[in-house]
Amino acid sequence: MAEMTEQEELQVFQLITAAGSAKSTFMEALYKAKEGKYDEAEKLFKEADGYFVEGHHAHTAMIEAEGQGVETTVRLVLAHAEDQLMSAELTKTMVEEMIALYKKLDQLKNK
């Protein structure tokens, strides 16, 4: 099997780093919302979304290169990177919904 190029390795590790940062920061946002610190939660959520977008851009660049005929080497590390990005996307969606639920619960408690 052909070895990954240095560029491919860089893109894969950018993707893993961005997705991991996104996922953990989304969770930090959720914990702040659980404490009722919604301004901090919103700030963290936006930060996490920035990481997610970085990961998505790295992934898109790899897909576009392949679409332009650049031969790529798919390795387990790339599959892991894509898994991390999908996990971050799911975390984002769930955290967004859970923060909204915490806000509603607080509104009901304060009535």
pLDDT tens, 51-104? Answer: 999 999 988 888 888 888 877 776 778 888 899 999 999 999 999 999 999 999
Distance CA 32, CA 42 (A): 9
Catalytic hit among 56, 57, 59, 80 = 80
Q: Under CATH, to which class is 18-109 assigned?
A: mainly alpha
Active site residue 56: no
Domain definitions of the chain by residue range: 18-109
pLDDT at 22: 96
59 contacts: CB under 8 Å, gap ≥ 6: 15, 81, 82, 85
- Alpha-carbon Rg for the chain, nearest whole angstrom, is 17
Mean of per-residue pLDDT scores for the chain: 90
Q: Which residue has the higher pLDDT, 108 or 5?
A: 108
Distance CA 39, CA 103 (A): 11
